[in-house]
Amino acid sequence: MHRFANPARFQRIANAVLPWIAAATASLLAAGLYFALFDSPADYQQGETVRIMYVHVPAAWMALFVYSCIAAASAVALIWRHPLADIAARAASPIGAGFTFLALVSGSLWGKPMWGTWWVWDARLTSVLILFFLYLGHIALARAFDDPVRGARSAAILALVGFVNVPIIKFSVDWWNTLHQPASILRLGGPSIDPSMLLPLFLMALGFTTFFVVVLLLRMKAELLAAKLRAAQLAQLQPVAAVGR
């Protein structure tokens, strides 16, 4: 794991894989949107509204996946002091917040025609809203201190404490009575939805995942460049300060 800790090595690896992952993202999302919009049937109950599922469900999956990645990176940073782990967690947080916001908005658009309301305070919706606030708290806390190390440590602790919300979101439909249906894809016995709907759903989920990797790598590269610029500016200011004394 520490072989990737060197920023120069990470930059070389990121530069090598980024074009391929970006091409995969464009292909997966294009194929997923085509099958979702033009080659999958309308639902017999939900009609054309069911097509919101192809954005809402992958966004909800990614909201949980990205937060899990942040928690894992935070644990690595706190335990092993991996130099890129804090950068990865800080870079991933706004992306995860974006996915969570998309899941909440698309869920409201889906819920209005199906449930007759934009929002209900059931267990699944409330726990996802809490996840969104955890993302915002992580973003704010990482930048709340003049000392970057203190901010990164505080944000890492919040990420680990907040991870308890991830299984609550996952199993909320099993533990409490909610308007959400039980799991229909990742469940014992296999998926319960039609394969014509399953294909675009998985294509969109893979496209969202590779999109996350692309944006994460770009944000990490930008963070490393900003740190390098700060170090260069401090190096220039030190001789000036010495002359002033």
- 56-97 tens-digit pLDDT: 999 999 999 999 999 999 999 999 888 799 999 999 999 999
Assigned domain for 91 exists: yes
- Reported confidence tier of residue 176, pLDDT bands at 50, 70, 90: confident
Instruction: Give a yes or no: residue 93 inside a domain.
Output: yes
In a domain, 8, yes or no: no
Token pair, residue 125, equals 């919706």
CATH of the domain at 111: 1.20.120
**Structure confidence by residue, pLDDT tens digits, 4-25:** 567 788 899 999 999 999 999 9
Is residue 37 assigned to a domain? yes
Instruction: Look at the chain and report how many structural domains it folds into.
Output: 1
Cβ contact 58:52 at 8 Å: no
In a domain, 3, yes or no: no
* 142 found inside a domain: yes
The reply to whether 183 falls in a domain is no
- Percent of the chain whose predicted confidence (pLDDT) is above 90: 60
Closest to 107 in 3D by CA, of 97, 98, 117: 117
Give the domain extent around 209.
17-173+191-244
CA distances from 173 to 36, 101, 170, 181, 232 (A): 26, 20, 7, 7, 52
Verdict on whether the full-model pTM lies above 0.85: yes
Look-up of token digits 């449930």? 115
Residue 76 lies in a domain: yes
